[in-house]
Amino acid sequence: MKIEIVICTYNRAERLSGTIQSLLSADIPDGTNVNLIIVNNNSSDGTEALIKEFSRNASRVAFRYLFEEKQGKSYALNTALKHMRGNFIAFTDDDIIVDKSWIKKMVSALKRYPDCNCFGGKVVAVYPKNMPPWLDIHNSTRFLKSVFVDRDDGDLEVEYGNSTLSNTPSGVNMFFRREVIEKNAFFRTDLGPIGKELGFSEDTDYCQRLLNMGERFMYIPSTIVYHPVHAERLSKEYLLNWQYKCGISEVRRNGGYKDTVRIFGVPRYLYRKYLKHAVGSSLLFSSVGRFRHKLRRYYTAGEIVEHLSIESKST
């Protein structure tokens, strides 16, 4: 059994170091070969030197260092796919800490579900001790858990869509048999982050295409990764920008929302939705409530802007 683990990275050498260290410390079952594919997406920090230093000293894990000059995570992911050789392909991110049993639990799931080709696991967000008082992620702004990659769907192994929050796993913890990767081909390069510019939905789109082909995804809660919630994600400016870019990405992923009345190419209900959240962000007494509506307003603005962009390109 040969597992290849794909990580794409851009100017995160310090955080990447922790990810690699956790992978090198992970338990590896007998008869399993692990190959770590790291794609440097045109970093300007010490990423290359860091990866090569780790590769020189690693004994249990093989390294393959790749460089993708064209900026964009999807370009880097596709570079990795062009070089895959393993039976199984896993994806994670350059700031993730994998559980010590992550690889072992993946191998177990692959053996226990021979008729399933697509899998995902639990993502545990590691929050700082002191959260901003205006951030109510357990109640009114629970939807912001997606910003922090907080994806705990419980402790039962189930097919995605059955008691899970989403129909597909998070891109920081998903793994596949090679044949479905070959069938599905590449990630869409008009989705996902580009350098420091936020972008989303490249992993959702990739998995959704597999669902459309008739594949099913199994949720394996024992395959656990930890995602630190970094300070920069806890600012209002970041969260508003995240919502705006997410609205753009989701409309782009779907090619626009279909089967609805439109005004200037924009679904009419989006104007009502924007107005509702504009009023809420201005008039509510609660500061937490006002910010929740502001977040939703930014998301809706992204949806409207992308619909206008699609309309302009079609005329």
pLDDT for 142 equals 86
pLDDT for 140 equals 79
pLDDT in tens, 37-95: 999 999 999 999 999 999 998 889 999 999 999 999 999 999 999 999 999 999 999 99
295 membership: H or E segment, kind and range: helix 287-314
Residue 45 carries which DSSP code?
A: S
Q: Report the SS3 class of residue 82.
A: helix
Residue 151 carries which DSSP code?
A: B
- What is the chain's Cα-based Rg? 20
CA distance 290 to 284: 6
Given this structure, which CATH class describes domain 2-231? alpha beta
pLDDT at 284 over 80: no
Tell me what the mean pLDDT of segment 187-211 comes to. 96
Q: pLDDT tier at 10 (50, 70, 90 boundaries)?
A: very high
pLDDT in tens, 85-126: 999 999 999 999 999 999 999 999 999 999 999 999 999 999
Structure tokens at 14: 């310090």
CA 280 vs CA 276, 292, 293, 296: distances in Å: 6, 9, 6, 10
Which amino acid appears at position 223 of this protein? T
Q: What would the DSSP string read from start to end of 154-221?
A: -SS-EETTSSSSSSS--TTSEEEEHHHHHHH-PPPTTSS-BTTB----HHHHHHHHHHHTT--EEEEE
pLDDT at 146 over 80: yes
pLDDT for 288 equals 84
Q: pLDDT tier at 221 (50, 70, 90 boundaries)?
A: very high
Question: How many CB atoms lie under 10 A from the CB of residue 285?
Answer: 6
- The structure's pTM equals 0.93
Contacts of 268 (CB under 8 A, 6+ apart): 260, 261, 262
Contacts of 20 (CB under 8 A, 6+ apart): 36, 38, 50, 51, 54
Which amino acid appears at position 237 of this protein? E
Average pLDDT, the chain: 95
Q: pLDDT tier at 9 (50, 70, 90 boundaries)?
A: very high
Any idea which residue has 């502001």 for tokens?
294
Using alpha carbons only, what angle is made at residue 105 by residues 99 and 106, rounded to the nearest 5 degrees?
Answer: 105
pLDDT for 287 equals 83
pLDDT in tens, 249-277: 999 999 999 988 999 999 999 999 999 99
